[in-house]
Amino acid sequence: MKQEKAILAGGCFWCIESAFRNVPGVIEVISGYTGGTKENPTYEEVSTGNTGHYEAVEITYDPSRISYGEILDVFWRQIDPMDAGGQFADRGSQYKTAIFYLDDEQKRVAEASKQKLAEIIEKPVATEIKKAQTFYPAEEYHQGYSEKQPGQYGRYKYASGRSPFIERFWKDKPRTCPIRSKGV
């Protein structure tokens, strides 16, 4: 089976990781850090906003079951793409949104997807498209957090404003990528 990777930053990595956990064609989702200057950063270091890293996820997927465009469509529907200062209750550069492309084709698809989204929402999209850098997995206690601590995670996702925003904002908007995979 062929596998490909996608690296996405959408604010709190717990929420983005959880959104992709049960998507058909997604093989693995790892929370971590990317885009900064410090090697092997810790959560405490990234949380200061001084390392240049984003909280992000690395998604391994089967491209015969889900396309990169479909991955991006799931991603867009988990964030506030207009927010340039972080996501929901999480503020700062480490919580900004970004798509980290791994090759020219991912860059092309990401740019087209962002353009389509801007047309749908009729507002500027703050999410950056950047060349991928080294991805550092986060500490083990962050991995699968929504499954390890479902009550705490659910309360956080709601109280942060993410759940209410997703339900309200994305409710009637069309997708940025035609869906070809069943169940996505």
Question: Which residues are annotated as catalytic?
Answer: 12
Angle between helices 13-20 and 150-159 (to 10 degrees): 110
CB atoms within 10 A of CB 49: 15
Q: Which residues face 28 on adjacent strands?
A: 60
Tokens of 156: 């956080």
Tokens of 181: 């995979």
Measured CA angle at 160 (ends 36, 132), to 5 deg: 20
Contact 31, 57 (CB under 8 A): yes
